[in-house]
Structure 1
């Protein structure tokens, strides 16, 4: 991976969350699943309110993580209801809120360790400055 800055998978997953939050994503979570599954080490979940917001969140994640990692595959972008961005060891799921509720992946992975997202990236429930 010439030209890429090397940081851990957990740091990259948190960066994915931060880039999603930069586009006002809702209910962003980072889950460590490496001990539960071989599909990836981390899952990042985020929600948007519209297809355009979901697409903007996906674009932000892909653009922001470009110096650190290469996207292996992206699915669902054109519809903007559920976009999956696959980095191999990190899989980012960006849903419209109602789609996330239907598939309820949060409950499926409820045994996974949740990685704390630093306060500086969070925007929900913050008092305006």
Structure 2
């Protein structure tokens, strides 16, 4: 398992721990130079969005990833850039509007056991 795979698994675990909804991981390898993986999920309140984003940041930093956060001030769409993995934590109302899964529809979803 590569570094980006380990980071992705840690980020998914963090999102699951904070009860994120509809967690989707997209494999962007060979499709985009932006990142190897996108994680997309949502929370049902500003508080939950912030809790998910904070836990993802904490887990990524524990693995030694450099983390950049954007959107924590509004908690509508928090972008967590960890280099090879980029997490998008939406507020429920914003996720459907931006529809990143549709935008990146040529990326394959990553299955987790």
Taking structure 2 as the reference length, the TM-score comes to: 0.92
Pair 1:33 & 2:28 matched: yes
Three-state SS of the structure 1 residue aligned to 2:62 is coil
CA distance in 2, matches of 1:114, 1:45: 11
| Structure with greater helix percent | 2
Moved over 6 A (4+): none
Q: C-alpha deviations, 1:55-77, integer Å up to 9, x for none?
A: 00001111122221323310001
Pair 1:50 & 2:45 matched: yes
- How far off its partner does 1:109 sit? 1.1
Matches within 5 A, 1:1-129: 8-118=3-113
CA distance in 2, matches of 1:115, 1:11: 13
- How far off its partner does 1:7 sit? 5.1
Unaligned runs of 5+ in 1: 1-5, 119-129
Unaligned runs of 5+ in 2: none
Kindly tell me the number of residue pairs found equivalent between the two proteins: 113
Determine which structure has more spread, i.e. the larger CA radius of gyration.
1
